[in-house]
Structure 1
Amino acid sequence: MLSTCNVTTVVTTVCRLTVAAALVQAGAPKVTGAPAVMDDAERLGYTPDAYRAIGAVSLAGAAGLLIGGIGGRLRWIGQAASLGSLALFTGAVIEHVRHGDAPAESLPAASLGVLSLISLVAGTKE
């Protein structure tokens, strides 16, 4: 039988890995300036450089989540990355709403924001 500590660790790890993968998937095309992503940047009113910066922040967040998963003295990095990811995804939802996108457009960011919050809260219990 799993102890509460083990369940918390599993939940935190699954959330961190899921969010980290999504951050890499979203951040890499922004950093490289993929044409479809740059079209989104223009539609949302961002300069290409600003969108590349958002991509770099996404990749840094993914790295922070993975480094924080090591635990020990590095755990705080994962907590900071969870908080930053929550802020990033909240901002994404706000941008979709501001631009009148269909609710389905903001659902991935909202879901990943929830996973970031779970990772943040569960990570304090490890």
Structure 2
Amino acid sequence: MTTLLAVALSLVFLPLGLAKMAAVPFMRRAAAHLGMSIRLYRVVGTLEVAGVAGLLLGLTRTPLGVAAATGLALLMTAAAVVHLRHGDPPPRAVPAAVLALIAVAYAVTAVAAA
């Protein structure tokens, strides 16, 4: 189960993180919509890619995976809050909230399996 969750999270976060780091047009628009600088959005993308690396390395080093999942859960919780504070309708915050919950599920499963 831990492997499945790590791979699923990685398949979501890796392309999104890389797109933020590269500042592709749709990510520039997303950053502008949220009132964030491209530089800050690139930092977020870097954190997402680092989280992916941590999740995958965590398959052999559980504490690293748990730390990465915790970081991604916090990042996604912050993303949901930013969307809501920005005035987006609640459904816009749901994907971030769901990803936060999946990251928590990974952390819990990894600790239970250790």
Please report the TM-score for the alignment, with normalisation by the length of structure 2. 0.93
Give the whole-Å Cα distance in 1 for the aligned partners of 2:90 and 2:8: 22
Shift of 1:25: 2.3
Taking CA–CA contacts closer than 8 Å with sequence separation of 6 or more, which of the two structures ends up with the larger relative contact order?
1
Partner of 1:35 in structure 2? 25
Q: Deviations over 1:55-81 (max 9, x none)?
A: 011001011101111x2xx22110110
State whether structure 2 residue 95 is matched by structure 1 residue 105: no
Taking every aligned residue pair, what percent have the same amino acid on both sides? 32
Cα distance in 1 for residues equivalent to 2:53 and 2:11: 10
How many corresponding residue pairs? 113
Question: C-alpha distance in 1, partners of 2:96/2:5?
Answer: 14
Give the match for residue 20 of structure 1: 10
- 2:47 corresponds in structure 1 to 57
What is the distance in 2 between the residues matched to 1:87 and 1:48? 21
Runs of 4+ in 1 over 2 A off after TM superposition: none
**Structure 1 residue 35, shift from structure 2 partner:** 1.1
Consecutive unaligned residues of structure 2, counting only runs of 5 or more, are none
Distance in structure 1 (CA, Å) of the matches to 2:91 and 2:16: 17
TM-score (norm 1): 0.85
Q: Distance in 2 between matches of 1:103 and 1:116?
A: 20
**Greater Cα shift, 42-51 or 89-98:** 42-51
Deviations 1:63-100 (A, max 9, x none): 1101111x2xx221101101001001101100111111
Higher Rg: 1
Q: How much has 1:40 moved relative to structure 2?
A: 1.2
